[in-house]
Structure 1
């Protein structure tokens, strides 16, 4: 059995799905360590997984630096945030990698693949968003609107190479330290393609099918889900609220930055009342609040427990939250904020589980109320959501990763 290190940089949505994968790997006999930020140590350790500290306070930086920016600027800013911390991140990942037999690499931790190469151990890309260039759709981190086949492909390729530039000095130092020859971003990308470095995409092919111009070693395998919380017990006030009336809607934005949390909190309450629905508002990293008889503010509640009890789910269209709502079989109202979220919001619209996205920059109480009324009264959205949930339940993304770990650690071709 192998010692597996998972490099998980970013917000909760970038980290939590790897707890479920980590548990599956551990149950298969592997020794699993997740290298991530201090804020996620309790989450990781309570599932019996090893933890290795990566520097950078993602929660503090997201909330103070990135509120109220445009999509492209937000994508660039997040990449710059990681680049600013690249040297200490690389040192911590190198330390974790020295105790591992195989690395699982995520997009924010991409330079861990350089570390694996230098140490002579296998690595696998395990991505939650589509990044491999294709003519089928544009790069998810930049836009949800197709640029045309050729431009879609070129834009994604440019993103992969330009995204490496802020890391050039750190990667050059790493390569020298590990005895690797120098390589430009474009040369490194080409080398990974030539050696058929595997990337398993942790989302459903029913949501984003593998494009025909992707080679076989880049493929969606099914969603990765956070490890279940078997000991979770809802707070008494949450149980009372759920029992006091019809199913409410859930409204939450996870780790997303918010410019004015009080104004947004008030808007959400107004929208729920205008739509005539009860609501549960998740505080999230922004600290949203609610003070109304028919609206309850809650802290952290597992999505797998809460979402099936909801009439609809309003969220920021992060990959993980979108997956949780799809798995629950409930209608959704995506309100994308940054990076890949407009891409997922558009996919949800195509799947027919939402009356349509409402971008955060265009969010108004009246518009949200209209979307809530449609999501909770038009049966087509729930019917489609339930059909998709039944199909998704048959997939096993974690199982595909287990098989790939077995393949690369056994030396099989």
Structure 2
């Protein structure tokens, strides 16, 4: 607990899409209630969720959807390594760096919690401002042997290669961010420019978000999902559990509030539906995704809720198909299309949940206690698909490009008709909900301990400065 008369200041920096934002908003709420002064900053489209929970927010990044080129979508749709997108809007990049610099200058954080994708930038501002301590706070387990960021699903025997792939992908992500990071000196006053790191490398990721991490880091993921070997490779990780907004708090535009009554009416009109949605995965074409989902549901004969997400799934894309009349009649009687949906309110009232396996959506589906069907597309989604199978709480399928309406329908029917899957899903969901109740205590205790062990005694600054000296000596030897 923050006990001094002046609240200690914590800045939370993040990016991503809705599922990524939730843990940071929940963490901000928990820490504010514990007596800390909290300020959030992230992409502009995350402002509404922060405002809904009365948390101060500063836009310091653009929506990732704006920087999602068609080539990237095409690559991940066909299970190929994507070309890393690089921004070109220099004026906006400078304005974003200026906003973050101003926030560091005026808010004067004593501790920063940062997402993986913002960690390098935060590490630079940390060094500029005399090594302000920061903690990596992610939804995924750190880069290691279990999964890779290259969207390559390796066989189990080749899992050790994940580390090499992660090192390669870190260098590619740094290349993607280079133009943004190169804007930082332009927003600094002359006296601070000399504090810029001499060389920007992937080292902060290794020190804060990897199997080799030397600092404690936070993960908003469940130990129930990760199993008993959680600490085998990740000795510095503190798992907080799923950190999701309470169902009663899932309101507002980001949760489809304008369709909430329509959803309630639909749920009351018949049997529990099957949910299908792919969140922030912008893949294939809206028509392809609409037909895949609608035809899969039609084959099951079940009611369903289909979430449009970034894939743009919509009833209009059925037009012109040979089965248009049959599909349209079925959809009108049995399917609700929603642009966005409140997972916490909807998932527990479904028979099964079909999705891409993003960390946030997986937390919500497993927490609901209903069978989960994951159709992975990239990154940690492959690992999540594997874990669903290992736990016996649903079906983890192969990449989306391998799926047809028949394979998806078969997975849905198997989950719904299997007593063992349904029972196990409820057991795991119940365990996750119990774990979730401990999250506020675990987070506040972690922050209290981190201030004591790394901030107040200067340990963070000492470790960082020693590490820079070692790197400088190694460079001199080269």
Report the TM-score when normalising by structure 1. 0.88
Tell me how far apart the structure 1 counterparts of residues 170 and 281 of structure 2 sit (CA, whole Å).
24
Q: Which residue of 1 aligns with 2:3?
A: none
SS at match of 1:271: helix
CA deviations on 1:178-199 (whole Å, 9 max, x unpaired) are 6154245255556669993221
Corresponding position of 1:114: 124
**Structure 2 Cα separation of the partners of residues 147 and 185 of structure 1:** 30
Following the alignment from structure 1 to structure 2, what is the Cα–Cα distance between the partners of residues 63 and 293?
Answer: 36
1:348 aligned counterpart, secondary structure: helix
Deviations 1:277-307, CA, capped at 9 Å, x for gaps = 1101112233322442111112333211110
In the alignment, the residues of structure 1 paired with residue 213 and residue 66 of structure 2 have an alpha-carbon distance, to the nearest angstrom, of 38
CA drift of 1:360 comes to 1.4
> For residue 260 of structure 1, what is the aligned residue in structure 2?
285
Equivalent residue, structure 2, for 1:330? 370
Query: Aligned match of 1:124 in 128, 135, 138?
Result: 135
* Residues 1:405 and 2:416 are matched in the alignment: no
Deviates more, 1:158-167 or 1:272-281: 158-167
What SS does the aligned partner of 1:292 have?
helix
Secondary structure of 2:40's aligned partner: strand
* Contact 2:171 2:202 (8 Å CA) reproduced: yes
**1:287, 1:35 → 2: CA distance?**
27
**Cα distance change, pair 296–150 in 1 and its aligned pair in 2 (3 A):** closer
Structural RMSD (CA): 3.0
| 2:201 aligned residue | 185
TM-score by length of 2: 0.76
In structure 1, distance between residues paired with 2:266 and 2:395:
26
Comparing 169-178 with 362-371, which one deviates more in the overlay? 169-178
Residue 423 of structure 2 corresponds to 383
The answer to whether residue 221 in structure 2 is matched with residue 203 in structure 1 is yes
1:311 corresponds to 2:311? no
Q: What residue in structure 1 maps to residue 166 of structure 2? A: 156
Deviates more, 1:21-30 or 1:113-122: 113-122
Aligned residue number for residue 77 of structure 1: 84
Residues of 2 paired with 1:159 and 1:292: CA distance?
A: 45
Instruction: Within 5 Å, give how 1:328-367 maps onto structure 2.
Output: 328-367=368-407
Using the TM superposition, give the Cα deviation of residue 88 of structure 1 relative to its aligned residue in structure 2, in angstroms. Answer: 5.0
Would you say 1:242 and 2:267 are equivalent positions? Answer: yes
- Supply the distance in 1 between the matched residues of 2:243 and 2:352 (Cα, whole angstroms): 22
> Which one of 26, 33, 53 corresponds to residue 32 of structure 2?
26
Q: Distance in 1 between matches of 2:428 and 2:68?
A: 32
| Residues 254 and 316, structure 1, Cα contact 8 Å, conserved in 2 | yes
Change (3 A) 1:402 1:89: farther
Is the contact made by 1:32 and 1:50 (CA closer than 8 Å) also made in structure 2?
Answer: yes
CA distance in 2, matches of 1:202, 1:266: 34
Residue 373 to residue 95, structure 1, CA distance change in 2 (3 Å): same
Which protein is richer in helix relative to its size? Answer: 2
CA distance in 1, matches of 2:338, 2:283: 17
Secondary structure in 1 aligned to 2:195?
coil
After TM superposition, the structure 1 stretch with the greater mean CA deviation from structure 2, 315-324 or 22-31, is 22-31
Between the aligned partners of 1:369 and 1:353, the Cα distance in structure 2 is 17
After superposition, give the CA deviation of every residue in 1:318-374 in whole Å (9 maximum; x if it has no partner). Answer: 000000011101001112222322221222222211133242112211111111111
Does 2:307 match 1:298? no
User: How much has 1:171 moved relative to structure 2?
Assistant: 4.6
Aligned to 1:58: 64
Q: Distance in 2 between matches of 1:69 and 1:31?
A: 42
- Paired with 2:430 and 2:285, the residues of 1 have a C-alpha distance of 38
Residue 252 of structure 1, CA deviation: 0.9
Return the alpha-carbon distance in structure 1 between the equivalents of residues 69 and 266 of structure 2: 30
Does the 8 Å CA contact 2:149/2:165 hold for their aligned counterparts? no
The answer to whether the Cα contact below 8 Å between 1:37 and 1:57 also exists between their aligned partners in 2 is yes
Deviation string, structure 1 residues 237-290 (Cα, Å, up to 9, x no partner): 322221222111011111210332123213212211211211011122333224
Greater Rg, structure 1 or structure 2? 2
Structure 2: segments with no counterpart, 5+ residues: 1-6, 186-191, 252-256, 316-330, 460-478
Post-superposition offset of 1:173? 6.9
